[in-house]
Structure 1
Amino acid sequence: MSGPRTDGSPAPEGPEAPELLSRTALAVFRLNGQFLSVADGLARPAGLTAAWWQVLGAVLPEPLSVAGIARVMGITRQSVQRIADLLVDRGLAVYRPNPAHRRAKLLAPTEEGRAAVARITPGHGEFAARLHEQLGGADVFRRVTAALEELSAALDALPGPTDSPPDAGA
């Protein structure tokens, strides 16, 4: 038997749980595609892609290692490394020494990188206002955000699937 959810209601059991997982996954995959499309549209006038914006955004508050960015963003270290190298090549970021680890350098935005992200802000604000209105206001927007954060936290708390390869005969 499953335990109660964080809101106190019982967790779905039996055939309902797999169906809900499938519906949720498909909705999140679609939402991810929609967000990437919007982000690319917002980033393009600033000379960035959604992926470049994502990595630069991760290091705006403080420099991070490639592995640290990957953890925060939930993407592979190899993907972050490729994007970080492109950002450095284009003068939007630099690698700095990492006092905690000699080989794992820290990625930091340059002034040009910060300026590129700042150029996105007006379009981002305008789009956020339109989405806010489309959702019906701040209360709904907050509930949607909280539900997505709760889903992410629940997935973080679960052990991953087994590492067994799929049955080749299936």
Structure 2
Amino acid sequence: MDKDTLTPSGKALTDLALELFRLNNRLLVAGDRLVAGIGLTSARWKVLGTISASERPQPVAWLARDMGANRQNVQRIVNDLAHEGLVALQPNPHHRRAPLVVLTDAGARTFEQAMRLQTPWANDLADGLSVADMETTLRVMAALARKLESDGESAQASTFLPV
């Protein structure tokens, strides 16, 4: 096969990526609707979740890395969350110009509210789907993510999907 022809696995991966993009967009819209009543968006919810899941306070750059997101976008969201009193910035003993981001009590309560909304939503959405299929899908997605990370995803991203 020449380098300009997709292999069967390359075609399957391309189809999977396109479907993941559609799913991601739908999940973001659904997430926005789910948490709108508590003053969040999917993006803010993801940042609060990443902070909540961190073992210790982290600077924005580390949060962005953990999320697989752009540092500038995460910084903008952290600034908004700080303005609303949901996160606070603390001095970083290791880097003067990169403060550590922590949840405030209000931020922790808001995140807990979001998760209480998410539980029945996730249960309903998953109803009728095979747990084994979802676990397999998760393993494939995690393997692809690891591969992209180790290959240097920025170098691969421009050639991944047809234009």
Structure 1 length normalisation: TM-score?
0.80
Which residue of the partner structure matches residue 45 of structure 1? Answer: 37
The answer to whether residue 91 in structure 2 is matched with residue 65 in structure 1 is no
What amino acid maps onto 1:37 in structure 2?
A: V
| Consecutive unaligned residues in structure 1, runs of 5 or more | 1-12, 166-170
Structure 1 distance, partners of 2:19, 2:148, is 15
**TM-aligned CA deviation for residue 47 of structure 1:** 1.2
SS at match of 2:21: helix
Structure 2 distance, partners of 1:52, 1:148, is 23
What amino acid maps onto 2:42 in structure 1?
A: A
SS at match of 2:77: helix
Structure 1 distance, partners of 2:135, 2:7, is 30
Structure 1 distance, partners of 2:30, 2:50, is 18
SS at match of 2:96: coil
Identity within the alignment, %:
32
Structure 1 distance, partners of 2:115, 2:153, is 36
Q: Which has the larger radius of gyration?
A: 1
Residues 132 and 141 in structure 1, CA contact (< 8 A), matched pair in contact too: no
The answer to whether residue 110 in structure 2 is matched with residue 148 in structure 1 is no
Residues 98 and 105 in structure 1, CA contact (< 8 A), matched pair in contact too: yes
**TM-aligned CA deviation for residue 31 of structure 1:** 1.5
How many residues are aligned here? 152
SS at match of 1:91: coil
Return the structure number with greater helix share. 2
User: RMSD of the TM alignment (CA)?
Assistant: 2.3
Structure 2 distance, partners of 1:87, 1:161, is 28
Structure 1 distance, partners of 2:36, 2:110, is 10
Structure 2 length normalisation: TM-score?
0.83
Which residue of the partner structure matches residue 10 of structure 1? Answer: none
Task: Write the deviation string for residues 71-125 of structure 1: whole angstroms up to 9, x where unpaired.
Answer: 0111111101110100001111110011111111011111111111111122211
Q: 1:121 to 1:161 in 2, by over 3 A?
A: closer
| Consecutive unaligned residues in structure 2, runs of 5 or more | 159-163
Residues 46 and 117 in structure 1, CA contact (< 8 A), matched pair in contact too: no
Residues 59 and 109 in structure 1, CA contact (< 8 A), matched pair in contact too: yes
Q: Give 1:157's match in structure 2, choosing from 146, 150, 154.
A: 150
What amino acid maps onto 2:59 in structure 1?
A: S
Shifted more, 92-101 versus 36-45: the winner is: 36-45
Q: 1:121 to 1:160 in 2, by over 3 A?
A: closer
SS at match of 1:99: coil
The answer to whether residue 109 in structure 2 is matched with residue 139 in structure 1 is no
Structure 2 distance, partners of 1:119, 1:16, is 44
Shifted more, 103-112 versus 29-38: the winner is: 29-38
Structure 2 distance, partners of 1:147, 1:21, is 10
What amino acid maps onto 2:136 in structure 1?
A: R
SS at match of 1:94: strand
